[in-house]
């Protein structure tokens, strides 16, 4: 009975480096969720490789080791979790509660941002609501393709799906994170003659590199530690259906040759066997990377790319969809209002204009989450511009001297400084100069992958000077940086 009850509870991943918080949440939420705890991105990666499936819910702090006073690790973790499982619902629980951090976390795909401290019961209710949303979405995805819109870009996308769905050749789906590549893959299968056959999906980034081969091709009994019995892989289980390989750019190089062999003649071998088997599965792959650049960098095989991209489908980003932004708004508003039993909200004219002008950096995933929050907060109401802006990843328009830098037009820089001084009370020259300095330091560190010596050379300062200036604005400690040059 205990195992049965545990199986009915949703899996929840809690990521926070404060043991007091994780122990408290584990105790309070453990009655309703199967709780898994990690304190860093690296621990999350190790944990997920041990689990059979990615948890459907996550509660994530932004300030994580090795940079607990900055939000960067949390932002990276949100991206990584959504890459592993696009359906995961992420709530951010953080003391890094600047409004800009909240906006950015939501734009990346977090469904909600909650500032610390927060009552555990409120968190529990938010998590249960998120699970209800996930269940409703899965039912809807099974009913139709989920591709909404009637503009030129979406019309072209639907035409490509109809054109390519019955071909036996691979399809490569390209598009930004959150744009809906998984929906396109599922639609390619549903509209094909293989629709009644198996459809399997594997995220190549979601499993440990040393397990990818066995997962794809299966393994013999005793092939490796823990292989207590023979087992078929995804190619075998897909049979003559469709196999969707998401995040194909994450596939290790040594396995790319074996995948190429399957695509060329259908042959593969289980790990630990010499017998060749044949797959009739149709392969659909997806990536948010530029595989041409990956080829130039030696991280992806050119021959595999050409084989995968017999047909290529480019999923357009939301910023290019024009009036379909409004159609998506109406679609998700109606869906989530019906799901929650709430009265739909509406945007006033100013808010509608902001909606149409917004670029939606998180694409359809971000739009969907915005609608969920608006339904929760403003059901049956008219949402104004101020209320909508609070949900978007936009910053107030303030003239800044940094906007005129770098550059050689001194007069333009002076004019920018005049506008800033006129618009901003309590201006601090020291703070502004420090902010400009930090921008260049962070840019140099990014360009040199954190190598202090190389970054110092780019900036034209001594290495110790660079380190001192990093400390002045509480930059990440040296342990975060590449210390191979020390």
Q: What is the CATH number of the domain that holds 447?
A: 1.10.10.60
User: In the chain, count of helices (H) and strands (E)?
Assistant: 21, 14
The verdict on 232 and 347 lying in the same domain is: no
Count of other CB atoms within 10 angstroms of residue 402: 14
Q: Is the pTM of this model over 0.75?
A: no
The verdict on 174 and 311 lying in the same domain is: yes
Residue 293 confidence (pLDDT):
93
Q: What is the CATH number of the domain that holds 355?
A: 1.10.8.60
Name the residue with tokens 């001194």. 410
Residue 124 falls within a domain, yes or no? yes
The verdict on 120 and 39 lying in the same domain is: yes
Give the tokens for residue 452. Answer: 């202090």
Split into its structural domains, the chain has a count of 4
Give the tokens for residue 22. Answer: 């994780």
The verdict on 299 and 333 lying in the same domain is: no
Interval 286-335: pLDDT, tens: 999 999 999 999 999 999 999 999 999 999 999 999 999 999 999 999 99
Torsion sign across C-alpha atoms 265, 271, 276, 280: negative
* Residue 483 pLDDT level (bands cut at 50, 70, 90): very low
The verdict on 137 and 109 lying in the same domain is: yes
Residue 258 confidence (pLDDT):
93
* Residue 342 pLDDT level (bands cut at 50, 70, 90): very high
The verdict on 14 and 88 lying in the same domain is: yes
Q: What is the CATH number of the domain that holds 89?
A: 3.40.50.2300
Residue 395 falls within a domain, yes or no? no
Residue 441 confidence (pLDDT):
84
CA dist., res. 184 & res. 161, Å (int): 7
Closest alpha carbon to 147 in 112, 106, 191: 191
CA dist., res. 285 & res. 307, Å (int): 11
The verdict on 178 and 306 lying in the same domain is: yes
Residue 283 falls within a domain, yes or no? yes
Torsion sign across C-alpha atoms 441, 443, 449, 455: negative
Last residue of a domain, one of 365, 389, 413: 389
Asked whether the predicted pLDDT for residue 418 surpasses 60, the reply is: yes
Give, rounded to a whole angstrom, the gap between the first and last alpha carbons of the chain. 57
Q: What is the CATH number of the domain that holds 247?
A: 3.40.50.300
The verdict on 233 and 201 lying in the same domain is: yes
Residue 486 falls within a domain, yes or no? no
The verdict on 96 and 243 lying in the same domain is: no
Between the CA of residue 441 and those of 49, 394, 465, what are the distances in Å?
35, 24, 11
Interval 87-104: pLDDT, tens: 899 999 988 767 888 888
Last residue of a domain, one of 318, 339, 360: 318
Interval 436-456: pLDDT, tens: 888 888 888 878 777 778 888
Residue 396 falls within a domain, yes or no? no
More confident residue, 434 or 232: 232
Over residues 150-168, mean pLDDT: 94
Last residue of a domain, one of 273, 289, 318: 318
CA dist., res. 479 & res. 486, Å (int): 12
Residue 162 falls within a domain, yes or no? yes
The verdict on 8 and 111 lying in the same domain is: yes
More confident residue, 438 or 388: 388
The verdict on 170 and 257 lying in the same domain is: yes
The verdict on 265 and 350 lying in the same domain is: no
Residue 207 falls within a domain, yes or no? yes
CA dist., res. 294 & res. 174, Å (int): 14
Q: Which domain holds residue 62?
A: 2-143
Residue 178 falls within a domain, yes or no? yes
């Amino acid at each position: 009975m205990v195992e049965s009850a545990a199986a009915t509870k949703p899996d929840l991943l809690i990521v926070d480096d404060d043991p007091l918080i994780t122990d408290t949440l584990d105790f309070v939420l453990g009655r309703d969720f199967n709780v898994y705890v990690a304190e860093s991105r690296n621990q999350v990666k190790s944990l997920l490789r041990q689990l059979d499936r990615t948890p459907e819910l996550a509660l994530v702090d932004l300030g994580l080791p090795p940079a607990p006073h900055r939000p960067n690790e949390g932002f990276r973790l949100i991206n990584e979790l959504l890459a592993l499982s696009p359906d995961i619902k992420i709530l951010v629980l953080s003391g890094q509660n600047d409004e800009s951090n909240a906006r950015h976390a939501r734009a990346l795909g977090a469904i909600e941002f909650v500032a610390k401290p927060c009552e555990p019961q409120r968190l529990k209710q938010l998590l249960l609501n998120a699970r209800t949303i996930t269940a409703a979405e899965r039912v809807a995805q099974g009913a139709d393709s989920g591709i909404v819109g009637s503009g030129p870009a979406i019309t072209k996308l639907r035409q490509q799906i109809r054109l390519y769905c019955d071909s036996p050749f691979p399809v490569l789906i390209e598009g930004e994170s959150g744009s809906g590549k998984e929906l396109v893959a599922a639609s390619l299968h549903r509209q094909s003659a293989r629709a009644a056959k198996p459809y399997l999906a594997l995220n190549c980034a979601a499993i440990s590199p040393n397990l990818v081969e066995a997962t794809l091709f299966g393994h013999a009994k005793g092939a490796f530690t823990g292989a207590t019995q023979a087992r078929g892989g995804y190619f075998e289980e897909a049979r003559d259906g469709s196999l969707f390989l998401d995040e194909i750019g994450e596939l290790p190089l040594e396995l790319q040759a074996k995948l190429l062999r399957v695509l060329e003649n259908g042959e593969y071998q289980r790990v630990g066997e010499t017998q060749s088997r044949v797959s009739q599965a149709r392969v659909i792959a997806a990536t948010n990377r530029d595989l041409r650049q990956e080829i130039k960098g030696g991280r992806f095989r050119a021959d595999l790319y050409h084989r995968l991209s017999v047909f290529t489908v480019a999923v357009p980003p939301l910023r290019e969809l024009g009036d379909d932004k409004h159609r998506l708004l109406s679609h998700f508003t109606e869906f989530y209002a019906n799901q929650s039993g709430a009265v739909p909200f509406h945007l006033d004219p100013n808010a509608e204009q902001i909606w149409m002008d917004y670029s939606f950096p998180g694409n359809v995933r971000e739009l969907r989450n915005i609608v969920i929050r608006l339904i929760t907060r403003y059901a049956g109401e008219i949402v104004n511009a101020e209320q909508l802006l609070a949900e978007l990843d936009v910053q107030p328009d303030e003239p800044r001297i940094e906007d005129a830098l770098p550059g050689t037009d001194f007069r333009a820089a002076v004019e920018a400084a005049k506008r800033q001084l006129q618009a901003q009370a309590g201006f601090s020259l020291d703070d502004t100069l420090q902010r400009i300095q930090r921008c260049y330091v962070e840019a140099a560190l990014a360009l040199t992958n954190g190598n202090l010596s190389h970054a110092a050379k780019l900036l034209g300062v001594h290495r110790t000077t660079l380190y001192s200036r990093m400390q002045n604005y509480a930059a990440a400690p040296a342990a975060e940086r590449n210390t191979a040059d020390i």
